[in-house]
Structure 1
Amino acid sequence: MSIAYLDPGNIESDLQSGAKAGFKLLWVLLGATIIGLLLQRLAARLGVVTGMHLAEVCHRQYHTVPRVALWLMVELAIIGSDMQEVIGCAIAFRLLSSGRIPLWGGVLITIIDTFFFLILDKYGLRKLEAFFGILISVMAITFGYEYVTVAPDQAAVLRGMFVPSCGACGSAQLLQAVGIVGAVIMPHNIYLHSALVKSRKVDRSNQTEVKEANKYFFIESCLALFISFIINVFIVAVFAEAFYGRTNEEVYRTCNETGSAHLDLFPLNNQTLEVDIYKGGVVLGCFFGPAALYIWAVGILAAGQSSTMTGTYSGQFVMEGFLNLRWSRFARVLLTRSLAITPTLLVAIFQDVQQLTGMNDFLNVLMSLQLPFALIPILTFTSLPTLMNDFANGLFFKVGGGLTVLGVCCINIYFVVVYVTQLGSVWLYVLAALLSLLYLGFVGYLTWLCLIALGLSFLDPNRNKEVASNILMERPMESES
């Protein structure tokens, strides 16, 4: 679960946040992580109390059409996340080989390493979790090394983290703040976490044991997200201290003095430096030596490799839950990896690393759009007394969760609108308007069901329960067990 907060998409959002806004947006990162923690708590509670993960609950509670539509949206998010992991690994291999491994070569290598994880999976979930722990440690050490090397102002880090302030932020910085929320809270991670808790044995007939399990899963989530938050802070602080406010010309001069082979990345002008995962590694090498570049690449590689398997697991649980299909993990990986690698490979062959980074930005927008299809169902089902019994959300979580979901969805819709308007194509505006009507209609339908579950509709309680039974296909738990 921690890995999904450290994938290449998150890392790119972190470094751009530091380079564009300095330390000003660290409080946004902290807030997004706390919101993510509360959502993960709901996901874990659903799995612990019901013995089913979110996709399985969607299968039994929603009718066929919304269920299939939900499945398609979540699959789209998983494929988009998988593409980001492939892009991150390809860029890492290019940096580590000093350009000798082409981008398409790095993409192809990621096909092989996926099957290595499948072999490792045969030795049991605990060993796989231990391997993930090693990869997270690699990220902590590599990005921690960059943090120590750059030595950012600790007072500025703490001030940016705990004192919300963006009064002088421009449109680019505000857009970056929105992007942080979209990158941190991943839709497929909600589905994944609700399934992973089932790997622990809990006696669901014992209410005390269920309550205890919920408590310890929440503590575990706090620890996991604290570690991922610290690593994200390392990345933001490094680029805030070293590259905030720098121009392309400054970077060009420094890279020229160090004999860098990547001078073409920095045009000779006084425009503010814009960085991505690839350029970030290059500028670190120019300013802090080759070791900083290679250590950065190792951290990116660890992030891409580890998040590969989370996408695989998410896809497995989502397909089995929504469609009740039992594919082998090999067949599942072959399908999703092919869908993710094919467009990425074409871009890597016929374009350059800049277009690959542009694809990464587009994928962040795509996953922002999919967010309501995880947040609304998890809030809906954890609020149903017929499903959660005594562990249904109380008033605080109903109101707070509803406002959180509304806020996150509005933020991400704003992010998407700004992204589309920057493209400047009339045909894209028309297409976006048509798709938006369908999208908002489906989100509105799910929201209506959520309001019924929350007990906030205008119907009287008895009528409300009757409508919920008709729409959400409420069935007693015993029918599944």
Structure 2
Amino acid sequence: MGLLIQLLAARLGVATGSHLAELCREEYPSSTKIVLWIMTEVAIIGADIQEVIGSAIAFKILSRGYIHLWAGVLMTGIYGFLFLFLENFGVRKLEALFAVLILIMGLSFAGVFGEAQPSSNAIISGLVIPRVPANAIDKAVGIVGCVIMPHNIFLHSALVQSRAIDTSNKVHVRDALRYYSIESTIAIVISFLINVFIMSVFAKSFYGKPGAQHIGLANAGEYLQHAYGGSNFPIKYIWAAGLLAAGQSSTMTSTYTGQFVMAGFLNLRIRKWIRVMVTRSVAIVPTIIVALAFDSSDNELDQLNEWLNVLQSIQLPFALIPLLTFVDNERIMGSFRIGGLLKAAAGLIALLVVVINFYLLAVFLLHSAIRSILILLLVGILICLYAAFIVYLVALPFMNSRSWAALSSSFHKYGLMPCLSFSFECCRGDPCPSFAAGIGVRFKTAAQIRKPLTLETYL
């Protein structure tokens, strides 16, 4: 899934010479692109909180607790800011730094994997036939969000433009797409192996054992040291080195993406260092607040981290749907528009993501301990708005087509207007309130449309 989305993002950037944020600004109405920009910024801030906190925890471990979480956040932000200035000396210098960080991360986690020696048969079995317990749905959804992160879709469509490519020459474009496909495949394979290293080590060491529920990012090194390091092998610090490299490279990535997103959506024409400062500040301030709030509460920090992964999955359609819309548009892509098979596969991924998200929201509402009718009503409204915007993004290409113009003209001829209609109800129950919501298409007359207090979005 991640590889296909990454390849489509690269295809968009190479074939058009514009990245996803720029195309959103050019193709969508003003209100739509503002909402997309806000959703993307929320996703970037959520990802940045995770990444910076991870680096801060690594600093805390490596300093034996002398560097507090909030101080580690500041250090990560400063180092990320300084590292990004390497771009002034050429993109290749920045890419080399990323390669070094990924190498450190890979070797560190591979070392931990080699020391733990999990069962290869169990790993293969889990990869071929994955099993997800009912109480781990939020974690499964979180994995989707942390593997296919929304801001990375924007980033990959922009990074391909660091090479000079003649977009008018189809041979050059095809060659570039082939090389980017190889590069992306290698990157995804490395990422996959690193994730396998981490998950298999913790599954073998702690799954089903007493106290496993208390293991999180902050104390994982201590548990690994106790299980495999003893008094001689510094596995805790190897883990921390990998965590620091992962956090620092991801922080730089999200900051880099923030520049493209802000400049692309808002068409900003300001100096690069000012743009870096603005995008870095937007993300670092919430992270410092989180660090101060959760400095002494590791379990709550881990729960926040899990829900931030879920946030990435919930925000994913707002990057995925525009991407699929543009790569399927012949006016934008020309001869590089995706074919039927690729469109079906990408559409299936988008549908799967949306279904998973709504399933998670349904599970959350059914098992929620919230007893306030007002809060449930607010949640219901937000879910309906979320659904409406997704339907709107999917329907917009058709609404702009000639077929829709002819169909809409037929409706208006008889004084009717199609609209999305939402309904929801809350009632007090025992032991907790119940909630129901619905979405559908209705046809209303002009007189009915003028009635106030309707929760409907007209097409």
User: TM tier, shorter chain?
Assistant: 0.7 to 0.9
1:376–1:450 Cα contact (<8 Å) kept:
no
Whether 1:280 aligns to 2:243 is no
CA distance in 2 between counterparts of 1:417 and 1:307 reads: 31
Q: Which residue of 1 aligns with 2:69?
A: 103
- After TM superposition, give the deviation of residue 95 of structure 1 in Å: 1.4
1:65 and 1:215, CA in 2 relative to 1: closer, same or farther beyond 3 A? same
- After TM superposition, give the deviation of residue 322 of structure 1 in Å: 1.1
1:347 partner amino acid: V
Within the candidate set 194, 198, 201, 1:235 is matched to: 198
- After TM superposition, give the deviation of residue 343 of structure 1 in Å: 3.1
1:200 partner amino acid: R
1:88–1:301 Cα contact (<8 Å) kept:
yes
2:337 partner amino acid: A
In the TM superposition, 1:68-217 aligns within 5 A as 68-161=34-127, 163-166=128-131, 169-217=132-180
Whether 1:415 aligns to 2:377 is no
Whether 1:323 aligns to 2:263 is no
1:132 and 1:421, CA in 2 relative to 1: closer, same or farther beyond 3 A? farther
2:48–2:287 Cα contact (<8 Å) kept:
no
1:418 and 1:331, CA in 2 relative to 1: closer, same or farther beyond 3 A? farther
Whether 1:369 aligns to 2:309 is no
CA distance in 1 between counterparts of 2:309 and 2:3 reads: 20
Structure with the higher fraction of residues in strand conformation: 2
Q: Which residue of 1 aligns with 2:376?
A: 429
Deviations 1:342-366 (A, max 9, x none): 3332333344233332322232222
Within the candidate set 266, 282, 290, 1:339 is matched to: 282
2:313–2:357 Cα contact (<8 Å) kept:
yes
CA distance in 2 between counterparts of 1:93 and 1:63 reads: 44
1:426 and 1:365, CA in 2 relative to 1: closer, same or farther beyond 3 A? farther
1:87–1:356 Cα contact (<8 Å) kept:
no
- After TM superposition, give the deviation of residue 98 of structure 1 in Å: 2.0
CA distance in 2 between counterparts of 1:239 and 1:297 reads: 15
Of structures 1 and 2, the larger Rg is shown by 2
CA distance in 1 between counterparts of 2:60 and 2:336 reads: 50
Structure with the higher fraction of residues in helix conformation: 1
Whether 1:448 aligns to 2:395 is yes
Q: Tell me the percent identity.
A: 48
1:152–1:238 Cα contact (<8 Å) kept:
yes
Stretch moving more, 325-334 or 179-188:
325-334
- After TM superposition, give the deviation of residue 460 of structure 1 in Å: 4.6
So what's the TM-score if we normalise by structure 1? 0.79
1:379–1:450 Cα contact (<8 Å) kept:
no
1:174 and 1:364, CA in 2 relative to 1: closer, same or farther beyond 3 A? closer
CA distance in 2 between counterparts of 1:89 and 1:333 reads: 19
CA distance in 1 between counterparts of 2:172 and 2:286 reads: 47
Q: Which residue of 1 aligns with 2:237?
A: 294
By relative contact order (CA 8 Å, sep 6+), the higher-ranking structure is 1
CA distance in 1 between counterparts of 2:290 and 2:35 reads: 28
2:9–2:157 Cα contact (<8 Å) kept:
yes
Whether 1:439 aligns to 2:386 is yes
1:412 partner amino acid: N
1:181 and 1:300, CA in 2 relative to 1: closer, same or farther beyond 3 A? same
Q: Which residue of 1 aligns with 2:350?
A: 405
- After TM superposition, give the deviation of residue 412 of structure 1 in Å: 2.7
CA distance in 2 between counterparts of 1:165 and 1:124 reads: 43
- After TM superposition, give the deviation of residue 463 of structure 1 in Å: 5.2
CA distance in 2 between counterparts of 1:336 and 1:399 reads: 36
CA distance in 1 between counterparts of 2:68 and 2:320 reads: 39
2:84–2:94 Cα contact (<8 Å) kept:
no
CA distance in 2 between counterparts of 1:69 and 1:129 reads: 32
User: SS of 1:122's equivalent?
Assistant: helix
CA distance in 1 between counterparts of 2:395 and 2:223 reads: 49
CA distance in 1 between counterparts of 2:68 and 2:13 reads: 43
CA distance in 1 between counterparts of 2:322 and 2:328 reads: 10
Stretch moving more, 91-100 or 188-197:
91-100
CA distance in 2 between counterparts of 1:132 and 1:52 reads: 24
2:217 partner amino acid: I
1:178–1:415 Cα contact (<8 Å) kept:
yes
Stretch moving more, 433-442 or 141-150:
433-442
2:355 partner amino acid: C
1:118–1:330 Cα contact (<8 Å) kept:
no
User: SS of 1:202's equivalent?
Assistant: coil
Q: Which residue of 2 aligns with 1:313?
A: 256
CA distance in 1 between counterparts of 2:333 and 2:249 reads: 33
CA distance in 2 between counterparts of 1:287 and 1:462 reads: 66
Deviations 1:274-325 (A, max 9, x none): 4221122221011112611111111111011111111111111111111111
